[in-house]
Chain A
Amino acid sequence: MGTFNETEFLRDYRKNPDRAFRQLMDGFRDRVHLFCLRAAPNRDDAEDLAQEVFIRVWKGLGRFRGDSSLATWIYRIAWNVCASYLEKKGRSPELTTYMEEGEEDTEPRLVASSVDAGMKQFEDRQFLEYLFESLPEAHKLVLTLYYMQELTYEEIAAVTDWPMGTVKANLHRAKAKLRTAAMEELEPAD
């Protein structure tokens, strides 16, 4: 990502759309695709979502005023596209209201002891992937934004439309769940 030049891109968007498109793809294609995979683990669906994101990005660029960074603006569109997709799948409550849910509602899914005994035979990586996949989509999306290391907490708040405190609390909670479950399972206290 590092080489993405926002000013150059916005200039090329009008004068040299081919080059601007190349820049957009080099800068964001795989990241937006990864983000969409968090909402739609099915590859075809994820690609459709990513296409939708880039179509909205491209068509909306004329209205981009630079109030936020381009990355924030793009992920905000991606977030909205994924949210509508999840809503259609009847999964929207986890994206919009899971903060209001009792902690207990989602906790048991991630407690290592609730995982099948067979799970223990999984390789570490597969086990962690399994834990991550069992998280609510909103957690997966926010953790992905966080670990991409592109956006600050403030920017993640702008993407999700959650207050900063909510972003931090959710990230912290999701990470804590993953770590606790994984450490209990993979690194038993010696």
Chain B
Amino acid sequence: MLERIDCQAARELMDRRDPFSGEEGGRLKAHLESCPACAAEARMEERLRSIIVPAELPSPSPGFELSLKARLGIGLEPRTDPIARWGWAAAILTLAVLVLPYVTRITEAALRVVSDLITGLAEVFGRAGSNAEPIIGQLSQLSSPENVMMLNLVLGAIVLLGGIVAVGIAERR
């Protein structure tokens, strides 16, 4: 048999988060069955609750999350799955293949300029009376096809190494 409560106690119980839970909830129910005034109050409370916080909350428009994600940059970071990894490698290799000829042509030209400059200078100093002929001969060979090829290989190796390191870094993130 539940202990009876008065209207004030009932109103206080109604103010709780979960008014009908536990033994006190049982007392409240019993009171509401016998007190029309408190029962009306409880009905009103329930109606208010259902209006202020409806059971089915209104959702924002369908694009809400997508736009929020874009603004926060979530899901835009490179993932570490195999497809992304190979994608990275392919992109870097393609870049290397496209860029390498340009790079080597430039270095070939640069080598020629450097060798011409040094040869010119050596010739000037050579005329001043020293025996610099062998050095001049070596320097004029600086832009030879062998040297250019060597540089090609070195640059290619550097680019590839850079690519591998980039993939490694991308994977770690």
Contacts and interface: CB of A to CB of B under 8 A. Distances in A.
Interface in A73-109: none
Interface stretch (B44-52, B116-124, B138-146, B165-173): B44-52
Contacts of B49: 147
Nearest to A149: B17
Contacts of A30: 57-60
B48 A178 contact: yes
A154 interface: no
Contact of B64 (A31, A47, A143): A47
Interface stretch (A63-71, A110-118, A121-129): A121-129
B129 interface: no
User: What bracket does the count of chain A residues touching chain B fall in?
Assistant: 35 or more
A25 B72 contact: no
Interface string A124-156: 110011001000000010011001110000000
Given A143-B52, A179-B48, 10 more contacts: A17-B77, A21-B75, A51-B64, A58-B72, A125-B51, A128-B48, A147-B53, A149-B18, A182-B44, A187-B40
27 contacts: A17-B74, A18-B75, A21-B65, A21-B74, A21-B75, A30-B57, A31-B57, A33-B58, A33-B60, A34-B58, A47-B60, A47-B64, A51-B64, A51-B68, A51-B71, A54-B72, A124-B47, A128-B47, A128-B51, A132-B48, A147-B49, A149-B17, A175-B48, A178-B48, A179-B45, A179-B48, A182-B48
Interface of B: 17-18, 40-41, 43-45, 47-49, 51-53, 57-61, 64-65, 67-69, 71-72, 74-75, 77
Interface of A: 17-18, 21, 25, 29-31, 33-34, 37, 43, 46-47, 50-51, 54-55, 58-59, 124-125, 128-129, 132, 140, 143-144, 147-149, 175, 178-179, 182-183, 186-187
